[in-house]
Amino acid sequence: LSAAAHFAIDVHSHVVPEYLPAYLGARRPANWPETVDAPESRGLCHRHVMINGKHFRTVSEKSWKGTRRLTDLPAMGLTAQVISPMPELLSYWLAPGDAQPLLRYLNEHTAQMCAQFPGRLLGLGAVALQDIDLAIDELRYCVRELNLVGVELGSNINGVVIGDMRFDPFFEACEALNAVVFVHALKPTGMDRLFGPPALQQVLAYASEIGLAAASVITSNLMLRRPKLRIAFSHGGGSLAMLLPRLQQGWQAFPAIREAVLEAPVSQARRLFFDTLVFDAATLRHLAHVFGTDQLMIGTDYPFNFSEQAPLKRLAEAGFDERTQAHLAWHNAERFLGREIAALRPNFTQGST
């Protein structure tokens, strides 16, 4: 067995609580999310997630039940997992005062799952980034009170791309609190360029969106301002690997870009982390070439249907040597998370169930 086969951390997996809190204000917003009963299927409890009164997705108990998750991890070759809310629950589109109690509920729920499996599950919080002060307060609560390792952010906040300078105070707080950031595609641009069924939103527009979001972090010099920040992008950075050489050339060709972007785009890209969720060995190899073998970490999108079932097999298929496989499987994730993962230590004993 290779080193990679011994330990592996998945940094991209999601949580949906079985129940979402009732709205406690006077007038429930139309887009307040809820979950409702769905028929049991394949021996698993299911819930429908309803958004705007419409069915958004059906999720199984894998989404909320830690014990079930801990059974699935070894089957996928995983030792530990970072869990974050299903992005459509991030609620940037609600009034901040409405979003806050919902996100607090999600954060408590995530923290409880992690507490049940210490050293195996690590949690990312959700913050109302439509109100930066509120978001910083909740970030502090997530890190200090709930022991979450950082936050999941959408790739845009109500249409404002995540690299926009207005979010800088939040990233400053992340750096100060040693909180990691995982940026996930959400409400993507480019929907007007899809031809085909609605699922193309996730399949094509998400990859396009997260690529532009990662590019925005480069063109705004985020990592030069916040050099200790540890920030990762979902879906292998989406289109970024293809945009980057053109951005690099444009940086050389256009004085205005050269003036705005203070370090070569290809160098700035190598200060970012990316997951491996690209579903193709050759593409993974290309990502390793573009971003470096130190910046990639396993991502699966567990427990959703459209997910990577055998992430370690993909690493092996890509032909990485054992040392590189170990980096992609867990060393890089430990560096990203800024801590040793207990489950990876030889003397670690399984947490309580």
The answer to whether 163 contacts a copy of itself (rule: CB under 8 A) is yes
Out of 81, 130, 220, 300, point to the residue binding a copy of itself (CB under 8 A).
220
Tell me if residue 197 falls in helix, strand or coil: coil
Query: For 220-279, where are the alpha helices, taking DSSP H only?
Result: 222-225, 240-253, 255-260, 265-269
Pairing of strands 156-157, 160-161: antiparallel
The answer to whether 260 contacts a copy of itself (rule: CB under 8 A) is yes
Nearest C-alpha neighbor of 237 from the set 175, 173, 162: 162
The site that binds a copy of itself (CB under 8 A) totals a number of residues, namely 63
Out of 36, 95, 199, 262, point to the residue binding a copy of itself (CB under 8 A).
199
The answer to whether 197 contacts a copy of itself (rule: CB under 8 A) is yes
The answer to whether 194 contacts a copy of itself (rule: CB under 8 A) is yes
The answer to whether 212 contacts a copy of itself (rule: CB under 8 A) is yes
The span of 66-74, 122-130, 280-288, 291-299 binding a copy of itself (CB under 8 A) equals 280-288
Shortest Cβ 283–a copy of itself spacing (Å): 5
Cα–Cα dist 86/13, whole Å: 8
**Tokens matching residue 36:** 């409702």
The answer to whether 292 contacts a copy of itself (rule: CB under 8 A) is no
Tell me if residue 119 falls in helix, strand or coil: coil
CB 128 within 8 A of CB 170: no
The span of 9-17, 276-284, 323-331, 336-344 binding a copy of itself (CB under 8 A) equals 276-284
Footprint (CB under 8 A) of a copy of itself, residues 293-332: 305-306
Spatial CB neighbours of 112, under 8 Å, sequence gap ≥ 6: none
Cα–Cα dist 255/305, whole Å: 46
The answer to whether 243 contacts a copy of itself (rule: CB under 8 A) is yes
Shortest Cβ 60–a copy of itself spacing (Å): 15
**Residues β-bridged to residue 57:** 49
The answer to whether 242 contacts a copy of itself (rule: CB under 8 A) is yes
Cα–Cα dist 249/297, whole Å: 27
The answer to whether 278 contacts a copy of itself (rule: CB under 8 A) is yes
Cα–Cα dist 256/258, whole Å: 5
The amino acid occupying position 291 is F
Out of 89, 127, 173, 290, point to the residue binding a copy of itself (CB under 8 A).
290
The span of 15-23, 49-57, 90-98, 231-239 binding a copy of itself (CB under 8 A) equals 231-239
The answer to whether 99 contacts a copy of itself (rule: CB under 8 A) is no
Nearer to a copy of itself, 138 or 308 (CB): 308
The answer to whether 245 contacts a copy of itself (rule: CB under 8 A) is yes
Compute φ and ψ for 295, nearest 5 degrees: -110, 5
**Tokens matching residue 248:** 């690099």
Out of 1, 195, 347, 349, point to the residue binding a copy of itself (CB under 8 A).
195
The answer to whether 84 contacts a copy of itself (rule: CB under 8 A) is no
Whole-Å CA distances, 246 to 200, 254, 271: 25, 12, 18
Q: How many helices (H) and strands (E) does the chain have?
A: 15, 13
From residue 143 to residue 162, what is the string marking binding to a copy of itself with x (rule CB under 8 A)?
Answer: -------------x--x-x-
Out of 2, 58, 116, 216, point to the residue binding a copy of itself (CB under 8 A).
216
Write the burial class of residue 194 (CB in 10 Å: 0-12 exposed, 13-18 middle, 19+ buried).
middle
CB 26 within 8 A of CB 266: no
Q: Give the binding site for a copy of itself (CB under 8 A).
A: 156, 159, 161, 163-165, 189-190, 192-200, 202-209, 211-213, 215-216, 219-220, 235-236, 238-243, 245-250, 253-254, 256-257, 259-261, 278-280, 282-283, 286, 289-290, 305-306
